[in-house]
Amino acid sequence: MHGPAVVTWLLAALTAASGLYCLTRLRSPVTVCAPPGAGAGSRPARESDATEALMGLGMAGMALWPTALWGWLYGLVALALLAAVARPGPAGPRVHRLHHGIGALAMTYMALAMADAMAGGGSGGPVPAHHHGGPVGLPLLTGALLVYFGCYTLWTGSRLLTVSGGAVGAAPGGGRSAGVSRACRLAMGVGMFAMLLSM
């Protein structure tokens, strides 16, 4: 990533915390991170938590240690998610998988573009300093992804502001947990937007 190292470390901390939170939800008997149409603790809900944990932790790793390996890893994740979208089922989980599929494709694109830029003389260590002058990747594709994740971040933020205090599912205090889950999604959206903006 471009920019000061402290910004990179803060972004990594934010996305890692979001990923770890979603990881802890997998151990909870009631899952409140479920996509629309999925019951608490159901298979789509667990799948959503696992995917969001993978995305958050992967974003943190990619921010600190850009390498083409992330591109291949998230390319496979994107293929699996997009194949799952093609299967028949409730619309809510399919839309959620599509969003994560787009996110995984964006991470594949960023990882391969950054690795290509670093191949000309950048370091391979944590938080590398890029010395090239122009933008990394394809400006049109980067711009389209910026618009998508910018709109997603605004939409998620507006939903976070309207979270009611009522319980979600059967868990006491579920409204608070739902708010934290939305805050984690907002953090990951902001992280994706920031990573794209730094290219």
Cβ-based neighbour number of residue 137 at 10 Å? 17
Tokens at 135, concatenated = 């933008």
Dist. CA 31–CA 40, nearest whole Å:
5
Residues with Cβ within 8 Å of 189's Cβ and at least 6 positions away in sequence, in order, are 149, 152, 153, 156
Residues of the chain with pLDDT under 50: 30-34, 36-41, 122-124, 128-132, 164-174
Which residue type occupies 105?
L
Q: What is the pTM of this model?
A: 0.78
Quick one: pLDDT at residue 160? 80
